[in-house]
Amino acid sequence: MPAPLPSLTPQIFARDLAAASPEPLSASCVEALYLHYQELVRWNRTVSLVGPGTAAEMVPRHYGEALAALPLVSAAARVGLDLGSGAGFPGIVLAAARPRLRMTLVEARERKWAFLAAAARRAALPCSCLNVRVSLPLPTGIPEALDLVTARAIRLDPEVLGALADRLQPGGRMLLWVGEENPDLPPNLLPERELPLAGSDRRRILELRPRSHPDGAP
């Protein structure tokens, strides 16, 4: 059975969100994320979006780990892609925190895709939701030019990562939420920086850049 999520008031949610974020969040961002959380609470009664092991630490573990990426997300980024979006982490969270960033959320499981569409609509976020499995050739609907690619809950083949890297704009970045070991990378992607995630000695965000743009320039 899906785990019940804690009932959080707007005030407690905002307080915990502020404590978990590496930068101040606007009131509109906090409101959008609380609407997402309300939808998550409702859907998680029947659809397993958040596992029982982390249900009690929703804000620091899930929202916090998504917000941890903000120092790596350029304010100039306009087109983003989140793979294996599931419950909306990090895609919906980053769309709320970076209002000029239009995210495409990709989810292969139909019920989770339906949740994403409902949550994005309720939070009034500029997200497109695709119910596809990411493989080669890349599915229709994935933007041809990307500023940001994120993946928190999915492992991708190097060939798929390479195809996505080819769509990164100059200065574009790929962010992967990983454990202790780096994933297998294609030749056209290079590690750039990494950020440790709070509360863990192993989990971190790995920033990758296209090899063809070593300085973020064409």
Dump pLDDT digits (tens) for 190-206: 999 999 999 888 999 99
pLDDT of residue 217 exceeding 70? no
For residue 51, what pLDDT is reported?
A: 85
Please state, rounded to an integer, the average pLDDT across all residues of the chain.
94
Q: What is the pTM of this model?
A: 0.94
Interior angle at CA 125, CA 124 and CA 126, nearest 5: 125
pLDDT of residue 215 exceeding 80? no
For residue 218, what pLDDT is reported?
A: 42
Give the CATH number of domain 10-210.
Answer: 3.40.50.150
Contacts of 91 (CB under 8 A, 6+ apart): 80, 82, 85, 103, 105, 116, 127, 150
**Sequence spans of domains, the chain:** 10-210
Share of the chain above pLDDT 90, in %: 89
Dump pLDDT digits (tens) for 119-152: 999 999 989 999 999 999 999 999 999 999 999 9
